[in-house]
Structure 1
């Protein structure tokens, strides 16, 4: 058999071998799961951390005397505005998600109201101006009827990492404080800590 015939004979075998190898290759599997179920693939801050920390801190905040003191002198529930929560940790954290979790926890409690931030307020004011020109008297909303915030909430997210060998401990600390906007008095100071341990041959920040 000459060299050309040998090449022709081997070609079907190579094609079959390639198909077998392709059939044995790994495939990607996607599974739909409950959004409330935590999936901890690493020691990084995740959506469940954000939700649990927000709920715990708001629950603690609403047990302090400032709520009772406010209701004893005012007819309306206290109105809170979130000024800023800074991410000072070693990794990227979706702070907007954490802020939204704080808002939901505050509103769900029924003990306090939430006031929109300056950017959202400006958009709503533009809508009111448009209503003055284009909406009927019965449906338009008047200017100058906004509810001012009684308290300002702000804080920061910090993290610390300790590692040795194939073990790494990541420590998260969230500090928030609530300020009376009339007196600048700090009426609540809250702190929540999370610690995670990851054991792996190799990991990345």
Structure 2
């Protein structure tokens, strides 16, 4: 009987040791948001930053903005539209649109109005103020600033590959459209190209 107890105790100890050794460990390192890290060669946060900074810089250097300010004596007002994902990957293009918006505002040369996603909530708040806020503090209806231009764009990809090696190219285009006339006043494109090499055998 004692032999069986010892036998089962040893067996339980061995099983417990095996289970503990099979458990995975998790290690987390905090990184700088500006760190350039590319693990898979896919679209990542570094690409978003590079694309947004480059496209906004190109837009600000273009003639359209100075022409507008010369004729109107003020900053142009821009609203952000949709960035379409026409690539072969799952890409959250709303992050690109928001980064573009941030970069444009920070130039100090462009004014932005709320995009479609947030405009409804602002209008709801203004509507409620007509009933629940004091007359002195309630914001008036019909005083929104109309946008002069719509910013929109798309992401496309191209993949060239052979065994163990691939070149993945991202084309991110953006354009500013005069809302009144439908005239395109600026079109830009930034290209991100990556060489991805993977060993055939894993050690």
The TM-score range, normalised by the shorter chain, is: 0.7 to 0.9
Q: In the alignment, which residue of structure 1 is the partner of 2:191?
A: 193
Q: In the alignment, which residue of structure 2 is the partner of 1:56?
A: 54
Go from structure 1 to structure 2 and tell me whether the alpha carbon gap of 1:72 and 1:31 turns closer, same or farther (over 3 Å shift): same
C-alpha separation in 2, matches of 1:109 and 1:7? 79
C-alpha separation in 2, matches of 1:87 and 1:184? 22
SS for the counterpart of 1:160 is strand
Q: In the alignment, which residue of structure 2 is the partner of 1:106?
A: 104
C-alpha separation in 1, matches of 2:29 and 2:18? 25
Q: In the alignment, which residue of structure 1 is the partner of 2:135?
A: 137
C-alpha separation in 2, matches of 1:160 and 1:142? 50
Structure 1 residue 16: deviation in Å? 4.3
C-alpha separation in 2, matches of 1:165 and 1:172? 21
List per-residue Cα deviations over 1:57-106 (Å, max 9, x = no partner): 01110110111101111132101112211000001001111111011101
List per-residue Cα deviations over 1:13-36 (Å, max 9, x = no partner): 444444544454452212222233
C-alpha separation in 1, matches of 2:69 and 2:58? 18
Give the aligned length. Answer: 199
SS for the counterpart of 1:127 is helix
Which segments of structure 1 move beyond 6 Å, counting only runs of 4 or more?
Answer: none
Pick aligned residue for 1:85 from 66, 83, 86: 83
**TM-score, normalised via structure 1 length:** 0.87
Provide structure 1 residue ranges, at least 5 long, that are not aligned to the other structure. none
**Higher mean C-alpha deviation, range 17-26 or range 146-155:** 17-26
Q: In the alignment, which residue of structure 2 is the partner of 1:165?
A: 163
Pick aligned residue for 2:36 from 35, 38, 43: 38
Provide structure 2 residue ranges, at least 5 long, that are not aligned to the other structure. none
C-alpha separation in 2, matches of 1:6 and 1:196? 65
Structure 1 residue 117: deviation in Å? 2.2
Go from structure 1 to structure 2 and tell me whether the alpha carbon gap of 1:17 and 1:167 turns closer, same or farther (over 3 Å shift): same
Structure 1 residue 200: deviation in Å? 1.9
Structure 1 residue 136: deviation in Å? 1.4
SS for the counterpart of 2:135 is coil
RMSD, matched Cα: 2.1
Q: In the alignment, which residue of structure 1 is the partner of 2:122?
A: 124
SS for the counterpart of 1:188 is strand
